[in-house]
Amino acid sequence: MTKSWLSIPSGSHFSLANIPFGIITHSRFQVPRIAVAVGEHALDVNTFAQKGGFSKCAGLDSSALKVFTEQSLNAFAALGRSHHRTVRNYLRDVFRADTPYPEVLQANEGLKNEALIPLSEVQNHLPLTIGDYTDFFAGRNHAHNVGTLFRGPANALNPNYNHVPVAYHGRASSVVVSGTPLNRPWGQVLPAPGATTPVFKPCAKLDIELELGMFISRGNKLGQPINVDDAEGHIFGYVLMNDWSARDVQQWEYVPLGPFNAKNFGTTISAWVVLADALEPFKTAGLTNEVELQDYLKETKKDNVVDINLEVALITENGDENVISKTSSKNLLWSWPQMVAHHSITGCNLRTGDLLGSGTISGFEAGTQGSILEQTLGGKTPLELKGGEKRSFVNDGDTIRIKGVAGSVDGELVGFGECVGKILAPISRS
């Protein structure tokens, strides 16, 4: 375990094996700044860079340093994976108990006071300016669970499922950072099974979708697909994601063009981007695919999903915490490089800051599914919560909190912190 001169509590998601990047403001500065999370502190990287913090960092020239003055991580992401590695390794060295550069921060009281800020004092913002947001459907257990609900187990998966990394284009504008409350949306829904005339009312089946999100570092030119074996070099890092879903709206609207209003009122992501390098030790195989893949989806180097322990809690307005799901992000049929390769195989251009979602991550057993739809069999078997409360879907005042942490390497955790969202009363129609 790599010890730090900075106090990092045992169990912290932000050990020296992590060094995730985010965007913060603070009472001292209202213009967003780049930061990394270490233990219970944020390092204001903007200030750190301007005060010479990177002076001992080999391989980072002054033009590259300018990216740390930006208000989003896009320019840093666009530098490419080798630069991310250089910066992450250097910052880890700066914080090591046996740092080769004590003068940079450990022994620099002025810079420590200015640039190290308790996480409890910072406000997080969206880490990147998102171009396009695409949501995949790679969680085959979820697809199977939901398909079984709607079509029975024999026809649970659609014929294309094991061949195509199915996805849809999502809404980028309403992706919000953890902590942002959302109002329950109104929408057109059918009043009863078999009805043909909709009514307009607040969504009555507000659901969650437990997902992992991935940000693109460098993109590709239009007409030039990314080879599956090159895709890893286009991955910046990962976040937790809750793709809120209005199931009743979705059911009425989704034929034939897919979900639209059912998904566009908000998608919550965690604040700190865990870099691809930090998750390398946790790469593993995803779900086994029985079919012969098309060549463009065949990976030379396999094991390209990541094994992150995920936990979903529903917190009622009185503060009762109910863990409703535990699973792993390895429950995906398609790896991240396969998603990138499929997305771009038509020539579609990905850009720095694009966000790709995994699709809902579920196991099969009770308490391992990533949506309430699955857990309650479509609302029929409500969740039993503390205090005698029951939930078929999410109520007003409920908070959904996702945590994600990768198993320890030498006692150091690589975690995401939390992805939190509270559902408020329906949008006012005054």
Binding site for its own copies (CB under 8 A): 131-132, 134, 137, 158-160, 163-164, 166-174, 176, 182-183, 185-188, 196-198, 200, 219, 222-225, 246, 249, 252-261, 264-266, 291, 294-296, 342-343, 345-351, 354, 427
Is residue 123 a known part of a binding site?
no
Residue 223: count of CB within 10 angstroms of its CB: 10
What's the min distance (Å) between Cβ of 322 and its own copies?
A: 26
What's the min distance (Å) between Cβ of 181 and its own copies?
A: 9
Is residue 263 a known part of a binding site?
yes
Burial degree of 290 (CB within 10 A; 0-12, 13-18, 19+): exposed
| Helix/strand/coil for 70 | coil
Strand partners, 214: 238, 356
What's the min distance (Å) between Cβ of 233 and its own copies?
A: 19
Joined together, the tokens standing for residue 295 give 């060549």
Which residue, 154 or 255, is less far from its own copies as judged by CB? Answer: 255
CA nearest to 43, candidates 32, 35, 51, 53? 35
Is residue 254 a known part of a binding site?
yes
DSSP 277-335: HHHGGGEE------SPPPGGG--SS---EE-EEEEEEEE-TT--EEEEEEEETT--SS-
CA nearest to 65, candidates 55, 74, 118? 55
What's the min distance (Å) between Cβ of 220 and its own copies?
A: 10
Verify whether residue 342 is a known catalytic residue: no
CA nearest to 272, candidates 76, 406, 171, 418? 418
Which residue, 212 or 216, is less far from its own copies as judged by CB? Answer: 216
Asked if the peptide bond before residue 259 counts as cis, ω within 30 degrees of 0, the response is no
Which residue, 162 or 395, is less far from its own copies as judged by CB? Answer: 162
Query: HSE-up of 113 (CA within 13 Å, CB side)?
Result: 3
Is residue 151 a known part of a binding site?
yes
Residue of 13, 142, 342, 343 marked active site: 142
Is residue 243 a known part of a binding site?
yes
Is residue 338 a known part of a binding site?
no
What's the min distance (Å) between Cβ of 426 and its own copies?
A: 9
Amino acid (1-letter code) at residue 4:
S
Which residue, 253 or 418, is less far from its own copies as judged by CB? Answer: 253
**Catalytic positions, please?**
142
The binding site for substrate comprises 137, 151, 250, 254, 360
The binding site for Mg(2+) comprises 243, 263, 267
The binding site comprises 135, 137, 151, 209, 211, 243, 250, 254, 263, 267, 360
The binding site for Ca(2+) comprises 135, 209, 211, 243
